[in-house]
Amino acid sequence: MRVSFVSQWYAPEFGDGGVPKEIVTALAGLGHDMQVLTGFPNYPDGKVFPGYRQRFHQRDVVDSVPVHRAPLYPSHDTRLLRRAANYLSFATSASMVAASTLPVADATLVYSSPITAALPAMAIKARRGTPFVLLVEDMWPQSVTASGMSQGSADGPAQRALHRLCDAIYRSAGAIAVTSPGMAELIADRGIDRDKVHFVPNWVDEDRYRPQPFDSRLKSSLGLTRPFTVMYAGNLGEAQGLETVIDAAALLREHADIDVALVGGGVAEPALRRRAADARLDNIHFLGSKPPAEMPSVLAVADLHLVSLRPTELFRRTLPSKIQSLLAAGQPVLGCVEGDAAALIERSGAGWTTTPGEAAELAAAVARIATVETASLAQRGAAGREYYLAHLSRRAGARALSDLLAGVRQTPGARGEDGR
């Protein structure tokens, strides 16, 4: 069947497209005729990539898949008005592109981070009757508050309008796929039919994320000279609560054998750098973003990997895709997380967990693992990879999404709770 995939982000963003492109590639591998509706690439810096010039519509081909691009206001900072302009400009222009130039499809799959990416799918549904599946990566509207982006009263006019928009999107979807079990309950708590909400965990590029040999020269070239390296690799955002990692690094100064490395970029990076500089830390290293093709080798130079989220009710019901990447790569994990993420780390046998926001507890765990539990690191990594292959693989996830798309196409009653 022909499937339109709507995502505000796509390749070359995330280097090679990240999760959105991986989803498209996997569904195409199952025989679906895929087409993509996305924006002009500008993530994570909020600047349109070199070689692209915004216009009403541009058609590219990425790995044999047609990609239709719609203009947007490029921005990725924490200021509410600019981020809202970024989201809504894409939703508006993509809806117009969908109505005027996007070929007709049998169903639409929406990568809803942000949830406003579903508005073009709703427009396609209203105009052509095409049902859509909503893939919920971030729980809206809660994630807006958790990210620090929202302003004003939690029950003010803007928040009430956002709640109504989210509920309308959830009801309009023929089926909803969520990436953590807790998200399903949050959506059901909003009065959405629980039977149409399905847990479909994210998977990763399995050709890339697999165990890699340790490269001592690469480690040295990154400036990591101490025997034990603990690494955080990913978005340096507000939601991750990485100031706890900086504070833990300060407590680890007396351990001359431990380096702390942060790989990636994001809106919180300047503040994190200032925090580290103010503490005069020489054991923490900001390594910047690395090309996706290099990431498995970069991950392999570390002995232990961090996953971190702020301690909020929303994040207790969130599974960051970083965990799947680390499990697939066979890397041991220390999670500063609670809820679904902590349960996955523990259930997989891939590592340990600590209380989010507790720098002393994190520092003590790192010190203990670096001195007492080093022999178990390889065993933890191997257990995580085995769990990934058994429960979180591309094959299982892509088949689940394919079944949902076929279901909304074939079942009139699955076209949404709005009756259309």
pLDDT digits (tens, 9 = 90+) for 281-328: 999 999 999 998 899 999 999 999 999 999 988 899 989 889 999 999
- The whole domain housing 138 covers 2-203+393-414
69 and 93 inside one domain: yes
Instruction: Please give the pLDDT value at position 145.
Output: 63
295 and 166 inside one domain: no
239 and 288 inside one domain: yes
242 and 183 inside one domain: no
- Tell me how crowded residue 297 is: count the other CB atoms within 10 A of its CB: 15
Query: What would the two tokens of residue 71 be?
Result: 């203009």
125 and 233 inside one domain: no
Instruction: Please give the pLDDT value at position 373.
Output: 83
pLDDT < 70 regions, the chain: 15-16, 145-155, 411-420
Whole-prediction pTM value? Answer: 0.78
Instruction: Please give the pLDDT value at position 155.
Output: 65
DSSP 164-194: HHHHHHHHH-SEEEESSHHHHHHHHTTT--G
327 and 362 inside one domain: yes
246 and 372 inside one domain: yes
Query: What would the two tokens of residue 303 be?
Result: 């002995």
Instruction: Please give the pLDDT value at position 412.
Output: 53
Instruction: Please give the pLDDT value at position 33.
Output: 98
CATH number of 325's domain: 3.40.50.2000
Question: Angle of helix 394-410 relative to helix 14-29, nearest 10 degrees?
Answer: 60
Q: Name the nearest CA neighbour of 5 among 40, 29, 33, 43.
A: 33
CA distances, 19 to each of 47, 112, 288 (Å): 21, 12, 20
Measured distance CA(179)–CA(400) in Å, rounded:
12
189 and 256 inside one domain: no
Give the chain's domain count.
Answer: 2
Instruction: Please give the pLDDT value at position 146.
Output: 56
Domain membership flag for residue 209? no
7 and 73 inside one domain: yes
380 and 289 inside one domain: yes
User: What are the phi and psi torsion angles at 136 (to 5°)?
Assistant: -90, 110
Instruction: Please give the pLDDT value at position 281.
Output: 98
Instruction: Please give the pLDDT value at position 77.
Output: 76
Instruction: Please give the pLDDT value at position 413.
Output: 47
Instruction: Please give the pLDDT value at position 144.
Output: 72
Query: What would the two tokens of residue 215 be?
Result: 């490269």
Do residues 385 and 211 lie in contact, with contact meaning Cβ atoms separated by under 8 Å?
yes
Instruction: Please give the pLDDT value at position 143.
Output: 74
101 and 236 inside one domain: no
Q: Name the nearest CA neighbour of 318 among 331, 330, 308, 333.
A: 308
Instruction: Please give the pLDDT value at position 375.
Output: 82
